Amino acid sequence: MEIISWNVNGIRACIKKRFLKWLKKEKPDILCIQEIKAQEKDFSKIKKELSKYNYNFYINPAKKKGYAGTSIFSKIKPLRAIYGIKNKEYDKEGRVITLEFPTFFLINVYVPNSGRGLPRLSYRKKWDRVFLSYLKRLNKKKPLIICGDFNVAHEKIDLARPEQNYNKTAGYTQIEIDDFEDMLKAGFIDTFRSLHKNKKAYTYWSYMFNARAKNIGWRIDYFLVSKRFFKAVKDSFILSKVKSSDHCPIKLKLKIYI
């Protein structure tokens, strides 16, 4: 079974960059996308195309048009879909979709960015705390697969220029690092880093300064799983050659099929 996660940085823009051709080639069992920047009506073309491949379709758009939002395409119909984390303050941005399957929960998340100059860092910290509480509640019922854009580079190996960015740039402040560390301490495993301990690989490159060509990147997109579920993980990949967004897709291969 294969699950792919991808921050598409606007699904309408990504479609113009051969998104549907890429999807037809990859054919994941489940595709989780973030930062869709669209409402449900904007997905009509995609839904028509996906109907050929028997995908079930779930979307959690932000109330603000052209901003944030998440979506999941799944060939396996879940027991139920949960939109948001049951918090009015945070759910208006459409950042989380949870699908419940018989043996696990799948959570697709687009974590808030602290912003240039860190104006949203305090908002981000509160969001991290509420989100972790949500994960802990679900984890008591079934193991979790959590994927998406976490907007944080966990360690020095996870970004090209750690010294230049530490405590200055969104995604690499000690507050964000500590909050991510709290998730790992709560019993969740970073699958890519656990399987590829010393591998330098990135999932995001700024559109500025020719960063992708120079490979000046960040690893801020993750697949985390509950510790007790890690035995079901076969491999965790970064699909860095896919260039239809400023992020690339990541893939989780499982030993099981639902």
Backbone angles phi, psi at 256, to 5 degrees: -110, 165
- Residue 17 class from Cβ within 10 Å (0-12 exposed, 13-18 middle, 19+ buried)? middle
Question: CA-CA distance, 171 to 173, in Å (whole number)?
Answer: 6
Given the structure tokens 């603000």, which residue do they identify?
64
C-alpha dihedral over 244, 196, 74, 60, to 10 degrees?
Answer: -70
- Give the chain's largest Cα–Cα span: 48
Backbone angles phi, psi at 146, to 5 degrees: -120, 125
Neighbours of 243 (CB within 10 A): 12
Helix (H, G, I), strand (E, B) or coil at 169: coil
Rg (CA), the chain: 17
Q: What is the DSSP pairing of strand 144-149 with strand 188-190?
A: unpaired
Tell me which residues are annotated as active site: 110, 149
Q: Give Cβ neighbours of residue 200 (< 8 Å, ≥ 6 apart).
A: 157
Backbone angles phi, psi at 110, to 5 degrees: -120, 100
Question: Measuring CA to CA, which residue among 85, 72, 63, 96 is closest to residue 4?
Answer: 72
